[in-house]
Structure 1
């Protein structure tokens, strides 16, 4: 792979086909010049971007300080090692751009309020925990004090990177959809949901990935599980009528507002989760 641009001794932009990629390695570019070949054995990490970012890497990363690139790599690596879902390589790019903007705003004493913070803490606790570690590292590096709003913003970037879409508004849509479904559950079952309960937490985990599929119009679950057995579906519906009726309200709502047809297997799983909450 040939060097297209050297960001520092450890970070280089090169090309793969028509796309720009970021490669990292200790002393990777030491003594090297643009146009020279890199030894693959010296490459420790590769960030291969997709979508709009694949041809804008040089433009977006040029001028970003080395320490911000290092911090962004630390956070992206932590997310990949901590979370069980796949993290898109775009996270490195968006974090570097975001953190660079944060440092610039702080110099002008400008702080931005994160109006989704409460929902992010509730719906994406693992991503938020990484966000907290990230602001601790940034605060220590720059001798500044970042508040929890910034931890929330970093968590939003992580959630975005988990999705196939790079639409920056996806987290807002995701939290809105989850809140809508939770509201239906509360009013339908007439229950006060205990957020510390294990069955509620399992339901929320399922609901989060279900909401992602709804937004992305994905049939991934159905493709993985196949067509649900009619007899099993009818048995679940009969055994848990209250939970099943709530599932039907969710199904109708999603068809009416999002034109999303909830599969029979997804209805069955939602019903089982709700039944456990009711029994608890």
Structure 2
């Protein structure tokens, strides 16, 4: 691979197929110049850049200290190893930009409150746990005292990466949608929602992915056999289904999203288990 841009001794921009990539490695650019080929044994990490990222990535990375790039790489790598599903390579760049901003804010004594922190802890515990680990590493390596608010912000970046959505508001919108659905469940069923209960946790896992489908406007249609199963579930769990109908009505009215029988069936089954547990 040919070097297109040298950012520092450890980071270069190169080409892989039709995509630009960030290549990282200790001393990867030492003694090199633009146009030289990279030594394969020096490459430790490759991050592919989307088309709309390529124009800004050089300026972005050239302003960020090496230690922040290393921390961002550590977190992105851990996220890929931990989270089930796809983590976009853009997470590395997003984290580097965010952590660099954190460093600037701390120096200027500017604190930002994360008003979604409580919901992030509830709805995205795996991502939040990664955010906590990231904050611990940042605090240790950069000698900063960071709050749980920052763990929540990093968790939101990870959720955005999972959603494959470039909008910075994606995680916030997903969190708010989940909160809306849980609020409907809470007031409709009038049962105690124990967040440590395995049935509630399974329900929340399902709702997370369901909410992602709502936001992306994707749905699945049932076969005739599944329609028969749906009818059976409705008859067996009428109380749970009444709450499901309130959810589907809300989504149709407020987000113009029609919930399929398949999706209604699974939501109803999860709610029925919560009711039975209560």
**TM-score (normalizing by structure 2):** 0.94
After superposition, the C-alpha distances for 1:199-253 in whole angstroms (9 at most, x for unaligned) are: 000000110111111111123xx28x86762211111111111111111111111
Of 122-131 and 14-23, deviating more is 14-23
Structure 1 match to 2:235: 238
Given the superposition, is the C-alpha separation of residues 228 and 70 from structure 1 closer, same or farther in structure 2, using an over 3 Å criterion? farther
The question of whether the paired residues in 1 share the 8 Å contact of 2:160 and 2:168 is answered with yes
The question of whether the paired residues in 1 share the 8 Å contact of 2:7 and 2:58 is answered with no
- For residue 111 of structure 2, give the secondary structure of its aligned residue in structure 1: coil
Given the superposition, is the C-alpha separation of residues 116 and 51 from structure 1 closer, same or farther in structure 2, using an over 3 Å criterion? farther
Structure 2 match to 1:107: 107
Backbone CA RMSD of aligned residues: 1.7
Of 184-193 and 15-24, deviating more is 15-24
Structure 2 match to 1:48: 48
Work out the CA distance in 2 between the residues paired with 1:78 and 1:205.
21
Aligned residues: 277
Work out the CA distance in 1 between the residues paired with 2:150 and 2:77.
19
The question of whether the paired residues in 2 share the 8 Å contact of 1:14 and 1:22 is answered with yes
Work out the CA distance in 1 between the residues paired with 2:44 and 2:169.
32
Work out the CA distance in 1 between the residues paired with 2:223 and 2:23.
40
Structure 1 match to 2:83: 83
After superposition, the C-alpha distances for 1:9-51 in whole angstroms (9 at most, x for unaligned) are: 3321113466432112333222211121124454332111225
Structure 2 match to 1:255: 252
The question of whether the paired residues in 1 share the 8 Å contact of 2:5 and 2:13 is answered with yes
Work out the CA distance in 1 between the residues paired with 2:41 and 2:103.
34
Work out the CA distance in 2 between the residues paired with 1:165 and 1:274.
29
Shift of 1:171: 1.4
Given the superposition, is the C-alpha separation of residues 227 and 129 from structure 1 closer, same or farther in structure 2, using an over 3 Å criterion? farther
Mapping for residues 32-47 of structure 1, pairs under 5 Å: 32-47=32-47
Given the superposition, is the C-alpha separation of residues 273 and 3 from structure 1 closer, same or farther in structure 2, using an over 3 Å criterion? same
Structure 2 unaligned blocks of 5 or more: none
The answer as to 2:261 corresponding to 1:273 is no
Structure 2 match to 1:178: 178
Shift of 1:8: 2.8
Mapping for residues 123-202 of structure 1, pairs under 5 Å: 123-202=123-202
Work out the CA distance in 2 between the residues paired with 1:95 and 1:226.
43
Structure 2 match to 1:94: 94
**TM-score (normalizing by structure 1):** 0.93
Structure 1 unaligned blocks of 5 or more: none
The question of whether the paired residues in 2 share the 8 Å contact of 1:139 and 1:146 is answered with yes
The question of whether the paired residues in 1 share the 8 Å contact of 2:72 and 2:96 is answered with yes
Work out the CA distance in 2 between the residues paired with 1:226 and 1:64.
53
